Structure 1
Amino acid sequence: MLGSQRITRRSLLAGSAAAPLAAAGLGTSSPLRAQALVHSGPYEPTWESLGGHRPPSWFDDAKLGIFVHWGIFSVPAWAPRGEYAEWYPSRMRDPNNPTHAYHRQTYGAGFAYRDFIPMFRAQRWDPAQWTDLFAAAGAGYVVPVGVHHDGFPLWDTATTTWNSATMGPRRDILRELGDAVRARGLHYAPSYHQLLNYYAPEYDAPHPGYLSEKYLREWLRPQVRELVEDIGTEMLWLDGDWMATAEDFGTRELVAWYYNRAAARGDGVLVNDRLGQVRSQHGDFYTQEYDHDTGQGPDHKWENTRGCGLSFGYNTNEPAEDYLTLDELVTLFVDTVAHWGNLLLNVGPRADGTIDDTQTALLRGLGRWLSVNGEGIHGTRAWRVQRGRTADGLETRYTTRDSGERVYVFLLGRPGTTVTLPAADLPPLRRDHRVRLLGHGRPLHWASRGDTVVVDLPTPRDQPVHCLELREV
């Protein structure tokens, strides 16, 4: 990773996203109020009422979701190292960003972002093949970007003819993918990113009404309702929230409507914290993105989202060293789950609908690791201790299930023939406790020695993280 040089979504606002909005007289300081969505039920549009919502257990059990950033931006598929390729339509208009020069040199100054639409064909896309890969990775849910900040919805929306069903691929991508995902028994939750609009293809510019009441009434709310009522999304995964307050967006009313509708139907739904400048304050789960909003922990359910590399959208300018290794991915995943988080791992497909070998290998490698160690991941909860070290310095992480009757100790690395654990990090061990290494059939010999527990290990298989189960028989 590029550390402090990483370009986050918030820092990108210093560039071309803010300038067109200001030029259009649509700055973020306008006092805007959305009309309430009326839907009777137990939830009111107040933080206190919404805070009483209980999310479904499937989300906590799943641990792993797959994010998919795919769209017009997948055609140029380019960004400077460390930047997000899906921000191409914004950065190509910023003379201070390398994307501006790249676009002119590659496509010409007169080539508009919307001119990429006929090149976004998805001619090799097979939603069932995608879903097979996601399931093989061990994912429990899929979050495709329904519409990014570029204003091109990937479903047959009534709000604009500029969408994937009428242009480009001429396919209702969200509906087709949803059918495939649900057929595999996975949960489905297309995301919505139009809390920030820096481009609308029909105008070849930011939406002229962005953040106005008309924008909320005729664009934002109808599109969210289509995702909920027509496509069927099991969570509101929103983004662009830093541009205005929750009051400006009317998200409290939107969430109350969503919760009440689900309650009436007996559906289990949930909402992230990107509701309008309230991250890590409100929402069923908080979100972390790369090095932004870090420091999440077991006090509130959260989700860690990032790409296999440093971009969400596919970036042909990203070298192999910018991608996670399998060791890094597994370690990140285990660390996230131990601290009561989920990992929402992004893939960025090519414009033709294929996923490159590097990302595919990472997903399959994670799935192979989970096929051995998934018992310590799926369906578990945070243990009273999340992290520690063995006597010889190997880092550890912990999870539990069955109300603490089983505790899992993850050894981050490749241990030797014995491992010495602090007894204070473990449940009180008695003679009838069994210790086993996941993937190894026989119970292991263990012994208490003062304030430590020593476990004899078999020759471990070659994998980045090993998992011990401690269980009372």
Structure 2
Amino acid sequence: MTKQHTNTKGMSVRLLKKNKLAVCMALAITALGCSSTQQGLDNKQTQNSKPIHYQPNWQSLSQHEAAPEWFQDAKLGIYFHWGPYSVPAFGTAWYSGNMYRKGSSMNRHHEKTYGPVEEFGYEDFIPMFKAEHFDPAEWAQLFKDSGAKFAGPVAQHHDGFAMWDSQVNPWNAKDMGPKRDILGELFSELKQRDLKTIATFHHARNGQRNKHKLEKGMKDFNSHYPWYQGSPTTTNDPKLRKLFGNFETLDEFNQYWLEQVDEVVYKYSPDIIWFDSWMNMVPESYRKQMAANFFNHAQKTGQEVVTVHKHNDMPTSLSVLDFEQGGRRDLHPEPWMTDITLSQTRWMYVEGHPYKDPALVVRNMIDVWSKNGVVLLNVSPRADGVINQQQRDALKVIGDWLKTHGEAVYGTRPFDTFGYGTAGSKSSTHDGQSAKIEYTAKDARFTVSKDGKAMYVHFLGKPKPGSKVKIKALGRHRYAPRSAVQKVTMLGSDVDVKWQDDTYSFNIVMPERDLNEIATVFKLHLE
């Protein structure tokens, strides 16, 4: 190994004290001091060292730490869209609502395959949702082997069917369909494997708002099930109305929404509760009460819990912001999340739908991690409880890469810039940057260990053996704390790595062997 200009001024690594790295790094980009921000964090930690009884107001709830350290360390979680809507395996996870929208592709498919919706309704799929091959122990191990640090189900999608043993919602997996407590059984197996748990809630959209016409120009889109004269969704049947979110008043539905979240919290104690869009349609008073109930329950169980939301549905002072099928275009001082799916576009199992190249998934996840993000990856089981081989193969690729390179991911924090490259950025179909950008070895991303003893350079592809790569971002930087590189190694290999610091840029000579096809990672050992 050769080394030139070993003056410690050559490295630009933002090495700050443990647990303070993430916020301060991002602020350094704009040359702002982080003392005032850190003081705020310290005050919050001091407050949270005492028992708090949270009140249902934003000021009280903001005492809760939005993203505890374990969550920032975890980086990857897995969840799954699975329910009676998996039975037709056609269209999208919105099949349950769209089958009632006359003239839609799912309505035409439904009436051709199952008959008129007046004769075969969504409730008739539930006995067909048997989940006979569901094995919670095997699933939990699969998720752990894939590199996830937390996992759990879509507790309830827009369709109104609960995947837990519910006393609140009569339409639940324990009483009908599989006749098993899907969420409870899986949570038990996850906890035995030291994985944190997540329950996701999408049922804010289940409420029938079109019936009430409270907002001028309100569109059918704001409720999962359509409302038109003669539709089965307008039923007065006391039980069936709950499936369709069809309540006498919206306040009745809002209370029903809250009671279901509370039931999962009190009965199963999830570490994370995650909310899909449309939670803004639930009045603030219910959202505040939900958060207070969750945080106060966690005080009793000794958990450091997390809520995750989309758009402006919760304040980021107490809840983590999620970007669907995308992510941020730049590094952000606050930890954030993205939910992405392993399939090309679908969330539930759709017969014949293609899946993403796992290499593309890993590279896009590295981009998220370099920007202070956490990934929630969706898989799509079949109605019978089988996770098909294509998805299993992809999860194995992801897990194998993380087994070799995990130290550059778990427990890391961002550098003062996320990286560089030629791939650019394109918009997601939903929020922020796309999760399907085609990265190459010309794109690099950075992460730093929490203890400040190592920095990792991820090349998002296989570099050309023997080539010399210049990394200007690691050259002299006026905010650098004079840290020095002692040696450079390549994760997953014992190959000798040649490197050079010429004060203008940091240079790495690509080894002739062991370069990773998905993403090659170099570890910069710091003094």
TM-score range, shorter chain: 0.7 to 0.9
The alpha-carbon deviation at position 447 of structure 1 amounts to 1.2
SS of residue in 1 equivalent to 2:70: helix
- Name the structure 2 match of 1:413: 461
Tell me the C-alpha RMSD between the 2 structures: 2.5
The alpha-carbon deviation at position 202 of structure 1 amounts to 1.9
The 3 A distance-change label for structure 1 pair 418 and 343 is same
1:97 to 94, 104, 110: 104
| Deviation readout 1:41-60 (Å, 9 max, x if unpaired) | 34333333323321322211
- Residues 64-463 of structure 1 mapped to structure 2, 5 A cutoff: 64-79=76-91, 85-109=92-116, 110-197=119-206, 198=224, 202-203=240-241, 206-209=244-247, 212-217=250-255, 219-242=256-279, 244=281, 246-247=283-284, 250-274=286-310, 277-278=312-313, 281=316, 283-291=318-326, 295=329, 297-309=331-343, 310-318=345-353, 320=354, 323-389=355-421, 394-416=442-464, 417-425=466-474, 433-458=486-511, 459-463=513-517
The alpha-carbon deviation at position 177 of structure 1 amounts to 0.7
The 3 A distance-change label for structure 1 pair 243 and 434 is same
- Name the structure 2 match of 1:15: none
Q: Give the whole-Å Cα distance in 2 for the aligned partners of 1:334 and 1:188.
A: 22
The 3 A distance-change label for structure 1 pair 260 and 280 is closer
The alpha-carbon deviation at position 228 of structure 1 amounts to 0.8
Query: What is the identity, as a one-letter code, of the residue corresponding to 1:239?
Result: D
- Please say which of residues 129-138 and 455-464 is displaced more in the overlay: 455-464
The alpha-carbon deviation at position 398 of structure 1 amounts to 0.5
Q: Give the whole-Å Cα distance in 2 for the aligned partners of 1:422 and 1:104.
A: 59
Give yes or no for contact 1:272–1:283 (8 Å, CA) kept in 2: no
Query: What is the identity, as a one-letter code, of the residue corresponding to 2:488?
Result: V
Any unmatched runs of 5+ in structure 1?
A: 1-39, 80-84
Q: Give the whole-Å Cα distance in 2 for the aligned partners of 1:172 and 1:370.
A: 31
SS of residue in 2 equivalent to 1:128: helix
Q: Give the whole-Å Cα distance in 2 for the aligned partners of 1:430 and 1:173.
A: 50
Give yes or no for contact 1:192–1:238 (8 Å, CA) kept in 2: yes
Query: What is the identity, as a one-letter code, of the residue corresponding to 1:206?
Result: F
| Deviation readout 1:290-329 (Å, 9 max, x if unpaired) | 25x75474222111111111111111152x3xx2112211
- Please say which of residues 221-230 and 444-453 is displaced more in the overlay: 444-453
Q: Give the whole-Å Cα distance in 2 for the aligned partners of 1:116 and 1:105.
A: 15
Query: What is the identity, as a one-letter code, of the residue corresponding to 1:438?
Result: L
- Residues 45-64 of structure 1 mapped to structure 2, 5 A cutoff: 45-54=56-65, 55-64=67-76
Query: What is the identity, as a one-letter code, of the residue corresponding to 1:244?
Result: M
The 3 A distance-change label for structure 1 pair 297 and 143 is farther
- Name the structure 2 match of 1:44: 55
Q: Percent identity, aligned pairs only?
A: 30
Give yes or no for contact 2:472–2:505 (8 Å, CA) kept in 1: yes
Query: What is the identity, as a one-letter code, of the residue corresponding to 1:437?
Result: M
Q: Give the whole-Å Cα distance in 2 for the aligned partners of 1:107 and 1:235.
A: 38
The alpha-carbon deviation at position 147 of structure 1 amounts to 1.1
Give yes or no for contact 2:323–2:339 (8 Å, CA) kept in 1: yes
Q: Give the whole-Å Cα distance in 1 for the aligned partners of 2:282 and 2:328.
A: 21
* TM-score relative to the length of structure 2: 0.75
Query: What is the identity, as a one-letter code, of the residue corresponding to 1:461?
Result: L
| Deviation readout 1:368-399 (Å, 9 max, x if unpaired) | 11111111001111111111149x98111011
- Please say which of residues 325-334 and 403-412 is displaced more in the overlay: 403-412
- Please say which of residues 111-120 and 413-422 is displaced more in the overlay: 413-422
Q: Give the whole-Å Cα distance in 2 for the aligned partners of 1:470 and 1:71.
A: 46
Q: Give the whole-Å Cα distance in 2 for the aligned partners of 1:210 and 1:434.
A: 69
- Please say which of residues 68-77 and 449-458 is displaced more in the overlay: 449-458
Q: Give the whole-Å Cα distance in 2 for the aligned partners of 1:173 and 1:450.
A: 57
Query: What is the identity, as a one-letter code, of the residue corresponding to 1:220?
Result: W
The alpha-carbon deviation at position 149 of structure 1 amounts to 1.1
Query: What is the identity, as a one-letter code, of the residue corresponding to 1:405?
Result: K
Q: Give the whole-Å Cα distance in 2 for the aligned partners of 1:260 and 1:167.
A: 32
Number of paired residues? 421
Q: Give the whole-Å Cα distance in 1 for the aligned partners of 2:78 and 2:126.
A: 25
The alpha-carbon deviation at position 244 of structure 1 amounts to 1.2
The alpha-carbon deviation at position 282 of structure 1 amounts to 5.4
The alpha-carbon deviation at position 182 of structure 1 amounts to 0.9
* TM-score relative to the length of structure 1: 0.83
The runs of 4+ residues in structure 1 deviating greater than 6 Å are 427-431
Give yes or no for contact 2:152–2:187 (8 Å, CA) kept in 1: no
**RCO higher in structure (CA 8 A, sep ≥6):** 2
| Bigger CA radius of gyration | 2
Q: Give the whole-Å Cα distance in 2 for the aligned partners of 1:296 and 1:232.
A: 34
The alpha-carbon deviation at position 239 of structure 1 amounts to 2.2
| Deviation readout 1:101-138 (Å, 9 max, x if unpaired) | 11111111121111111110011111111111111110
